[in-house]
Amino acid sequence: MRSITFYLLTALLLIGHNGAKAQLQDKDLLPLARTVVLSNGTFKLDSNVKINIEAPQEDKVKLENLLNECLNTGKKSKGKTLNLLVRENVDGIEAPEGYNIEIGKKKITITAKSGAGLFYGIQTLLQLADENNRIPTGTISDEPQFAYRGLMLDVSRHFFGKEFVKKQIDAMAHFKMNRLHLHLTDAAGWRIEIKKYPRLTQFAAWRSPAIWKDWWFGDRKYVEEGSEGAYGGYYTQEDIKELVAYAAERYITIIPEIEMPAHSEEVLTAYPELSCTHEPYKQADFCVGNEKTYEFLEDVLCEVIELFPSEYIHIGGDEAGKASWPHCPLCQKRMEEEGLKDVNELQSYLIQRIEKFVNSKGRQIIGWDEILDGGLAPNATVMSWRGTEGGIAAVNSGHKAIMTPGGYCYLDSYQDAPHTQPMAFGPYMPLEKVYSYDPRAEIDSAKAHLIYGIQGNLWVEYIPTEELVEYMIYPRILAIAEIGWSNPVNRDYAAFKERAIKATNYLRSKGYNAFDLANEFGQRKEAQAPVEHLAIGGNIAYAESAPYSDSYKAGGDKALIDGVCGGWTYTDKKWQGFIRNGIDVTIDLGEEKEITEVTAQFMQMCIPDVWFPAEVIISASCDGSEFTELARIEHTVVRDEGLSFKEYGWKGNTKARYINYRAKCGPQRGWLFTDEIIVR
Ligand code: ACM
């Protein structure tokens, strides 16, 4: 019988439920385990440990290899044992990847329903071990929330070799992630050898210049493999086999993505007969009417399916322009013959036909959420990226969804104050934002089981080097790993950040170029606390000619005089957006007041068409009809890179009850965003 002291002690050492403080020795688990009860003893995990594995042969080999690698096992003696047992039923464990661990001073037993469960149990032990390989005694019971815990790496916009991919697989395994989605094909380069179509890798995999931005905003030409200045590359079929095997040894499945019907400029330049106009360099979308398109896609998929044993093949499906289809006789004929009423249904025709083909090979398709448009293929799994709506619609119609909404899971966005960071594609999305995501939010509980999992996506348009890839992935992928694995009741950002800092130190010690989380700059200072000023509590009227946008209301009519300023991104719902017609608002302070300052901040981010104003006019009035101009600020609006902020204001001395603030667009028109008109 266990003594009362034992129970008191274990209660103190319990981590897991209710966010109780982690008390692990030296290192904390990431992802957090479901229940951890540690006691005072230690077990030294070293080459003296006798290893006993009862598992299917294939798992046995993998686990032996893993332990040989990390324990450097030699002679076995001293009576210590590590038992790794696969059992059909494991106490309290439902998920196939779950495990229980009993750690005694002489014996550790991991029991799991699968080799993967044993593998994750070992990862937990390795994370718990101190620098002398000592593991605290106790018990652990753990299983994942989601079956799919993924990272997507874009290897088209810039190419990364197989050794680098293996290095990322190692990190994924350490944090219990299990799917690597490789975006293998896109305009910027085709990255997988297909024997039947050699021009894909002799030509469509190479370009000049190397930097995507220079190429994309330049002439977007492809060049022959081996020609002077050719940048690119591809995985040979042997490379792919090596990567697939390397990942499988670490219980990671590689999911290949072959884009269709869009993002295919490189294919349609190498094989122009597959586009509607048959002209190289003109089209991004396959001709959906032409039978040759299906012949090509099926041939490619046959080779891909042969190489990748994954249940799922990703077939893209995103962002088709569909512009050539209405003018193409073959596409029009197809629509007529199939009774398709619009181009969305035409895209859906292709996706459904490809799904049938993939299903006939015993596999399933995943597509980006645009595959919902025009009718979802019957067995498809949807990857929800344009927000969560696609995933919600998919599960509501009985399909599985993988949640990867841009606002939480796109790792190409800024992870810290933009002025402190290398140029990024998306807005401010720090670790805390990623960690705040709940893939089951807004999902009907009856459909929650259809949420297959979560994925972090790294698109690499602005990420030309391996160092930068790692910098953008780590530590934000750790939040994805924890959301994918750990029970959400234990979610506590402050505690997670501490563990993530330790995890980034670990990653650095292993040669990964992780972002320096411990020295994060953080949120824009204006957004950290409300600002006090004279207009708060007043009224504001918007000129009819310049309303704010329904998409960026920031809380509506009082948003510009509520004391709340925006952060590093207009997507935080604190910046009010005005499209094309500028701003023209009149603030009523309620009574005449002495005024010394009127000012507002604007942001500029040219890629999403957000610009500084070309002119701001600030006027004041005592009666609301006669206005005196206080300031007129002119600015030449020019395109620049990244994100910047600019203040347009007046300082002086006057008396007024009404303030009129007008901002005019520059020649680019586009959006104006401001967060507050501060009156002092
Ligand atoms: C995507 O980001 N175009 C899926």
- Picking from 469, 435, 427, the residue whose alpha carbon sits closest to that of residue 574 is 427
Q: Measure 463 CA to ligand 1 centroid, in angstroms.
A: 16
| Ligand 1 atom 3, closest CA | 318
User: At residue 98, does pLDDT exceed 50?
Assistant: yes
| Cβ of residue 222 lying under 6 Å from some atom of ligand 1 | no
Ligand 1 atom closest to the Cα of residue 319 is 3
Query: Does residue 318 register a pLDDT over 80?
Result: yes
For residue 253, give the H/E element and its range: strand 253-260
410 CB under 6 A from ligand 1? no
Chain mean position to CA 15: 28
CB of 318 within 6 A of ligand 1: the answer is: yes
Which residue numbers are catalytic?
Answer: 186, 263, 319
307 and 418 in a common domain: yes
Q: From the CA of 410, give the closest atom in ligand 1.
A: 2
Encoded amino acid at 406, one letter:
G
State how far the Cα of 578 lies from the Cα of 613, in Å rounded to an integer: 11
What does the pLDDT read at residue 426?
81
Q: Helix (H, G, I), strand (E, B), or coil: what is residue 44?
A: strand
Domain end among 519, 553, 576: 519
> CA 484, CA 497: separation in Å to the nearest integer?
17
CB contact set of 329 (below 8 Å; sequence gap of 6+):
289
Q: What is the pLDDT of residues 285-314, one digit of tens each?
A: 999 999 999 999 999 999 999 999 999 999
Q: Give me the percent of the chain exceeding a pLDDT of 90.
A: 91
Based on the fold, state whether residues 414 and 536 are members of the same structural domain: no
Give the count of domains, the chain: 3
CA dihedral 561, 566, 572, 574 (to 10 degrees): 0
Q: Is the pLDDT of residue 469 over 80?
A: yes
Q: What is the DSSP string of 331-391?
A: HHHHHHHHT--SHHHHHHHHHHHHHHHHHHTT-EEEEEGGGGTT---TTPEEEE-SSSHHH
Q: Give yes or no for residue 8 having a pLDDT over 70.
A: no
β-strands 50-54, 99-103 pairing: unpaired
pLDDT reported for residue 131: 87
pLDDT confidence of residue 300: 99
Q: Are residues 512 and 561 in the same domain?
A: no
**How much distance in Å is there from the Cα of 385 to the middle of ligand 1?**
7
Q: What is the pLDDT of residues 211-232, one digit of tens each?
A: 999 999 999 999 999 999 999 9
Q: Let me know whether 133 and 85 are in one domain.
A: yes
Last residue of a domain, one of 519, 548, 569: 519
CA of 352 to the centre of ligand 1 (A): 20
SS3 state of residue 471: helix
503 in the same domain as 485: yes
pLDDT attached to residue 28: 85
- The SS3 of residue 241 is helix
Residue at 674 is within a domain: yes
Please report the pLDDT score of residue 78 as a whole number: 67
Residue 3: alpha-carbon gap to chain centroid: 48
**Residue 492 belongs to a domain:** yes
Statement to judge: residues 506 and 547 lie in one domain: no
pLDDT in tens, 388-436: 999 999 999 999 999 999 999 999 999 999 999 999 988 899 999 999 9
Q: Is the pLDDT at 130 greater than 50, yes or no?
A: yes
Banded model confidence at residue 10, pLDDT cuts 50, 70, 90: very low
The pLDDT value given to residue 74: 54
- Please name the residue whose Cα sits nearest to atom 1 of ligand 1: 318
CA distance 184 to 192: 7
Residue 240 located in a structural domain: yes
The Cα diameter of the chain in Å comes to: 95
| 150 within 8 A of 454, measured Cβ to Cβ | yes
Distance (Å, whole) CA 504 – CA 512: 8
Domain membership of residue 560 (yes or no) is yes
Ligand 1 centre distance from Cα of residue 263 (Å):
10
Give me ligand 1 centre to Cα 74, in Å: 49
Q: Give per-residue pLDDT as tens, 522-558.
A: 999 999 999 999 999 999 999 999 999 999 999 999 9
User: Do 177 and 131 fall into the same domain?
Assistant: no
Judge whether residue 15 has pLDDT over 90: no
The better pLDDT of the pair 280, 8 is held by 280
pLDDT at 76: 57
Choose among 205, 195, 191, 204: nearest CA to 254. 191
**Residues recorded for the chain:** 680
Q: How confident is the model at residue 202 (pLDDT cuts 50, 70, 90)?
A: very high
Dig out the tokens for 128 from the structure: 């718990």
Look at 34-43, 331-340, 347-356, 513-522 and tell me which has the smallest mean pLDDT. Answer: 34-43
CATH number for the domain including 674?
Answer: 2.60.120.260
- 368 in contact with ligand 1, CB cutoff 6 A: yes
Q: Which atom of ligand 1 is nearest to the CA of 316?
A: 4
- pLDDT per residue over 477-523, tens digit each? 999 999 999 999 999 999 999 999 999 999 999 999 999 999 999 99
Q: Which residue among 126, 142, 158 closes a domain?
A: 142
Task: Tell me: pLDDT of 9 over 70.
Answer: no
With respect to residue 627, please indicate whether it lies within any of the assigned structural domains.
yes
Residue 241's CATH number: 3.20.20.80
Nearest Cα residue to atom 2 of ligand 1:
385
What domain range is 462 assigned to?
148-315+364-519
Neighbouring C-alpha atoms within 13 Å toward the C-beta of 391 = 27
pLDDT digits (tens, 9 = 90+) for 604-622: 999 889 999 999 999 999 9
Query: Does residue 198 lie within any of the structural domains?
Result: yes
Counting ligand 1 atoms within 8 A of each CB, the residue from 152, 255, 319 with the most, and so the one to mutate, is 319
Q: Are residues 306 and 452 in the same domain?
A: yes
Residues 422/416, Cβ–Cβ less than 8 Å: no
User: Do 286 and 402 fall within a single domain?
Assistant: yes
Specify the pLDDT at position 405. Answer: 98
What tokens appear for 221 in the block? 């030409």
| Cβ–ligand 1 contact at 452 (below 6 Å) | no
Query: Do 548 and 607 fall into the same domain?
Result: yes
Q: Which CATH number is 103's domain given?
A: 3.30.379.10
Q: How large is the angle between the packed helices 237-249 and 291-307, nearest 10 degrees?
A: 50
Same domain, 461 and 504: yes
Average pLDDT, the chain: 94
Model confidence over 50-95: pLDDT tens digits? 999 999 999 999 999 999 887 765 555 568 999 999 999 999 999 9
Q: Is residue 345 part of a domain?
A: no
Q: Find where tokens 């608002």 sit.
A: 585
Three-class secondary structure of residue 631 per DSSP: strand
Q: Is residue 541 part of a domain?
A: yes
Angstrom distance (rounded) from CA 387 to CA 153: 19
pLDDT for the residue numbered 547: 97
pTM of the model: 0.91
CB contact burial 414-442 (16+ within 10 A = b; e otherwise): bbbbbeebeebbbbbbbbebbbebebbee
Q: Name the DSSP letter for residue 129.
A: -
Q: Which atom of ligand 1 is nearest to the CA of 406?
A: 2
Check residue 23 and give its pLDDT: 43
Q: Cα(492)–Cα(500) distance, rounded to whole angstroms?
A: 12
Report the alpha-carbon distance of residue 265 to residue 570 in Å, rounded: 32
Are 94 and 120 within one domain?
yes
Decide if pLDDT at 14 tops 90: no
* 499 in Cβ contact with 490 (< 8 Å): no
Q: Which residues contact 565 (CB under 8 A, 6 or more apart)?
A: 524, 526, 527, 530, 531, 574, 601, 675, 676
